[in-house]
Chains A and B, each alone.
Chain A
């Protein structure tokens, strides 16, 4: 089990940042993502795997007209 912006999410071996975004339908392009406080660059969303019990923050920048 991991937490994404405070919400529980089921964990599996090899879970990537990209998969988390897909599962939560986080489509917004301006994101700041940290896994246990470590910043993940957009280039590494596919390759960064998330350990069990991780705290994932997907901070969406502001938007709106």
Chain B
């Protein structure tokens, strides 16, 4: 009924210190490095969370310089994603595309990032023009790189240009050296490369915790869905671990610039390197939160045991676990990949946390996986997670319910440098196309992409890494696959468009939104595309029925995207906000917002920066950046109403199988919601009625949301809204808006 109880005796007996090592060729690899540029800089520690410097590196011209972080940048953009968007805005033109030299990759941790007393404070935000969407993408990632970068002296790292040879950029925050090195013989894939580079740049064993590597893998070079891995040294396991800036293809941009890796060697971390304004408040808030985790996590989400995979069986129970390309919301085999399995498979006798002080510790690791296919066949590896998104995307959505194959898919996505969420959704699309005859063996070059065929799935991924065969086509993502299939006349264009789960060019993440109108908006009425990190409203809307009217839903789609944007301005992780709640939360007003945690965030921001804010100012801080990003999208030729449409699979049943599988529900909606008599209608008529009703509701929701956000019916922020937020001080921002009013 309720949750599974953790049974320590069921944890598999796996030696978490054993794995294949890759250090043999290290000396030769190092000897092949050629220093192309070396400059000295003065390392500095932050003052109240800011170092007030940005590091600019052009990998084409080899220009390296420091730029000041201005007071205006801090006031308007705060840090993190805000700084990333601001630097990118200044770097590109409306005509710039992802593979132009002027496109940038900006990594910024935010002012709070690097404090060690509260859970989830080590995040970096990565911003670039996406090869999938042609607009800015922002991706939130753990690992040590962001904090170590800041403790070396920089609030942001801005990378521009394109190299003609493979490079490593090394930032040594201990010695004050920035070096660009030609790196011709480096291993390509992340689990090898990050290990080799950690050992190469650490001066001794104790120094390994001070090293973080940003890198990608072979598939990022041949696809548009590349991601970036951010490493940290796992002391107890004695190996590197990886966290992913997954969405939108930033790893592809990275390799297009011929960057092999970024390496930061920071100073030894201590309790107050941020030199915060009010250490006592942060210390007390942190201890209070750790206690809350100790007392409540074991009977709430069990994040420390399961990580985010704790919701696999929950999503299945509520018909929300995407199955067979988002057709259905549950599957009889879900128990094979539920949290009871993962808590026995993941190592429990160690600490997991992708930055110091994270008591939520959801960065679980599955050790001792014997790889069965591909270039690492026979190797023993440690796999991150799997997180919920991976279990759902690589698992149920593709019909893969074999946990070892699921882990192997996860491992290869990570080491090849591709986004697991994107890969899961695009593979589910390929499989459905295969099942429906849009694809066949001839068109896939022999891959039998039936539901659950994990070996064909893995082979498609290996092709992506090798840059050959159908893997090359799949690696373009759902949007370009749809165009390709339609152009070749491989199936009914409407069906292909209906079932291809992308919006703005980005693949959907792994939740069913058919029965939650608010979540349909939470996915498609977004800045970067359908990623649940803006809003997750399914329970509020579909289960609790707390937001029945369009206005209620619009209010939720105003507040939550802004609230959650704020995490990315500051270097926070979202999970500690709502994957545990205080014991007396139920008695608080607006309990669903978890008011005590919101107050923790307000207190920590104020205590770090010395700038007193309250929970309303928090929303205003986000609104500036959120609206700026919307206008940036418009400047790049998107960001209007036409770009906020959702594929019909996200809104309702596309096929007769989907309709019939939940016929009772759909018939009832025809009677109750549409006022029609389903018994007098044919299946085709009923499906047509649903399409009309659901699309109509989505348009009404769009109207209500735009209005609440202070946007025109075409989705453009009004001049009044810009003025309210103080964005009217930027003439070029106002000019973009004026063109569309």
Chain B stretch 281-318: residues in CB contact (< 8 A) with chain A: 299-301, 308, 311, 313-314, 317-318
Please tell me if B225 contacts chain A, counting CB pairs below 8 Å. no
A39 to B477 alpha-carbon distance, docked (Å): 48
**Could you mark each residue 1-22 of chain A with 1 if its beta carbon is under 8 Å from any beta carbon of chain B, else 0?**
0000110000000000010011
A38 to B318 alpha-carbon distance, docked (Å): 25
- Whether A61 touches B539, Cβ cut-off 8 Å, given contacts A29-B299, A30-B581, is yes
Contact status B538-A5, CB under 8 Å: no
Contact of A39 among B299, B313, B539, B586 (CB under 8 A): B586
> Which residues of B have CB within 8 Å of A27?
1-3, 313-314, 317-318
Contact of B592 among A6, A21, A59 (CB under 8 A): A59
Contact of B539 among A18, A21, A63 (CB under 8 A): A63
A46 to B314 alpha-carbon distance, docked (Å): 21
Chain A stretch 28-57: residues in CB contact (< 8 A) with chain B: 28-30, 32, 39, 42, 57
A26 to B544 alpha-carbon distance, docked (Å): 11
Contact status A18-B536, CB under 8 Å: no
- Whether A61 touches B594, Cβ cut-off 8 Å, given contacts A27-B2, A29-B300, is yes
Most A CB within 10 A of own CB, among B3, B318, B387, B544? B544
Chain B stretch 75-129: residues in CB contact (< 8 A) with chain A: none
Q: Which residue of B lies closest to A59 (CB)?
A: B544
Contact of A29 among B301, B578, B585 (CB under 8 A): B301
Contact status B299-A57, CB under 8 Å: no
> Which residues of A have CB within 8 Å of B592?
59, 61-62
Within the complex, the shortest CB–CB distance from A50 to chain B, in Å, comes to 17
Within the complex, the shortest CB–CB distance from B594 to chain A, in Å, comes to 7
Please tell me if B466 contacts chain A, counting CB pairs below 8 Å. no
Within the complex, the shortest CB–CB distance from B327 to chain A, in Å, comes to 20
Contact of B2 among A29, A60, A61 (CB under 8 A): A29
Contact status B581-A61, CB under 8 Å: yes
A59 to B546 alpha-carbon distance, docked (Å): 8
> Which residues of B have CB within 8 Å of A62?
536-537, 539-540, 578, 592
Contact status A29-B532, CB under 8 Å: no
> Which residues of B have CB within 8 Å of A5?
543-545
- Whether A28 touches B389, Cβ cut-off 8 Å, given contacts A39-B587, A58-B544, A59-B592, is no
Within the complex, the shortest CB–CB distance from B616 to chain A, in Å, comes to 20
> Which residues of B have CB within 8 Å of A61?
539, 578, 581, 591-592, 594
A5 to B578 alpha-carbon distance, docked (Å): 22
Q: Size of chain A's interface in residues, with CB distance under 8 A?
A: 23
> Which residues of B have CB within 8 Å of A57?
544
Within the complex, the shortest CB–CB distance from B599 to chain A, in Å, comes to 17
Q: Which residue of B lies closest to A6 (CB)?
A: B545
Interface of A is mostly: loop
A65 to B534 alpha-carbon distance, docked (Å): 10
Please tell me if B533 contacts chain A, counting CB pairs below 8 Å. yes
Within the complex, the shortest CB–CB distance from B179 to chain A, in Å, comes to 37
Q: Which residue of A lies closest to B586 (CB)?
A: A32
Within the complex, the shortest CB–CB distance from A14 to chain B, in Å, comes to 18
> Which residues of B have CB within 8 Å of A18?
1
Contact status A28-B388, CB under 8 Å: no
Q: Which residue of A lies closest to B1 (CB)?
A: A22
A42 to B539 alpha-carbon distance, docked (Å): 19
A26 to B543 alpha-carbon distance, docked (Å): 9
> Which residues of B have CB within 8 Å of A29?
2-3, 299-301
Most A CB within 10 A of own CB, among B539, B546, B579? B539
A29 to B339 alpha-carbon distance, docked (Å): 13
Most B CB within 10 A of own CB, among A18, A26, A39, A57? A26
> Which residues of A have CB within 8 Å of B539?
28, 60-63
**Could you mark each residue 303-344 of chain B with 1 if its beta carbon is under 8 Å from any beta carbon of chain A, else 0?**
000001001011001100000000000000000000000000
Please tell me if B509 contacts chain A, counting CB pairs below 8 Å. yes
A21 to B388 alpha-carbon distance, docked (Å): 24
A63 to B591 alpha-carbon distance, docked (Å): 14
Please tell me if B511 contacts chain A, counting CB pairs below 8 Å. yes
Contact of B300 among A30, A59, A60 (CB under 8 A): A30
> Which residues of B have CB within 8 Å of A25?
317-318
- Whether A32 touches B299, Cβ cut-off 8 Å, given contacts A5-B543, A25-B317, A59-B544, is no
Within the complex, the shortest CB–CB distance from A20 to chain B, in Å, comes to 11
> Which residues of A have CB within 8 Å of B545?
5-6
> Which residues of A have CB within 8 Å of B594?
61
Contact status B511-A64, CB under 8 Å: yes
A63 to B310 alpha-carbon distance, docked (Å): 10
A30 to B509 alpha-carbon distance, docked (Å): 22
Contact status A65-B2, CB under 8 Å: no
> Which residues of A have CB within 8 Å of B538?
64
Contact status A65-B387, CB under 8 Å: yes
A22 to B1 alpha-carbon distance, docked (Å): 6
**Could you mark each residue 683-702 of chain B with 1 if its beta carbon is under 8 Å from any beta carbon of chain A, else 0?**
00000000000000000000
Contact status B311-A63, CB under 8 Å: yes
Within the complex, the shortest CB–CB distance from B223 to chain A, in Å, comes to 23
Contact status B1-A63, CB under 8 Å: no
A43 to B2 alpha-carbon distance, docked (Å): 13
Q: Which residue of B lies closest to A63 (CB)?
A: B311
> Which residues of A have CB within 8 Å of B1?
18, 21-22, 27
Contact status B536-A32, CB under 8 Å: no
> Which residues of B have CB within 8 Å of A42?
299
Within the complex, the shortest CB–CB distance from A47 to chain B, in Å, comes to 15
Q: Which residue of B lies closest to A31 (CB)?
A: B586
Within the complex, the shortest CB–CB distance from B660 to chain A, in Å, comes to 21
> Which residues of A have CB within 8 Å of B299?
29, 42
**Could you mark each residue 519-546 of chain B with 1 if its beta carbon is under 8 Å from any beta carbon of chain A, else 0?**
0000000000000110011111001111
Q: Which residue of A lies closest to B301 (CB)?
A: A29
Within the complex, the shortest CB–CB distance from B553 to chain A, in Å, comes to 14
> Which residues of A have CB within 8 Å of B587?
39
A60 to B533 alpha-carbon distance, docked (Å): 18
A61 to B539 alpha-carbon distance, docked (Å): 7
Within the complex, the shortest CB–CB distance from A37 to chain B, in Å, comes to 13
> Which residues of B have CB within 8 Å of A59?
544, 546, 591-592
Residues in chain B within 8 A of chain A (CB atoms): 1-3, 299-301, 308, 311, 313-314, 317-318, 387-389, 509-511, 532-533, 536-540, 543-546, 578-579, 581, 585-587, 591-592, 594
Which are the 10 A-B pairs with shortest beta-carbon distances?
A: A64-B536, A60-B539, A32-B586, A27-B317, A59-B544, A6-B545, A25-B317, A29-B3, A62-B578, A60-B543
Contacts A/B (CB < 8 Å), 18 sampled = A5-B543, A5-B545, A21-B1, A29-B2, A30-B301, A42-B299, A57-B544, A58-B544, A59-B546, A60-B539, A60-B544, A61-B578, A61-B591, A61-B592, A62-B536, A62-B539, A65-B509, A65-B532
Contacts A59-B546, A59-B592, A65-B509 known; 7 new A-B pairs at CB < 8 A:
A25-B318, A26-B543, A28-B318, A61-B594, A62-B537, A63-B311, A65-B536
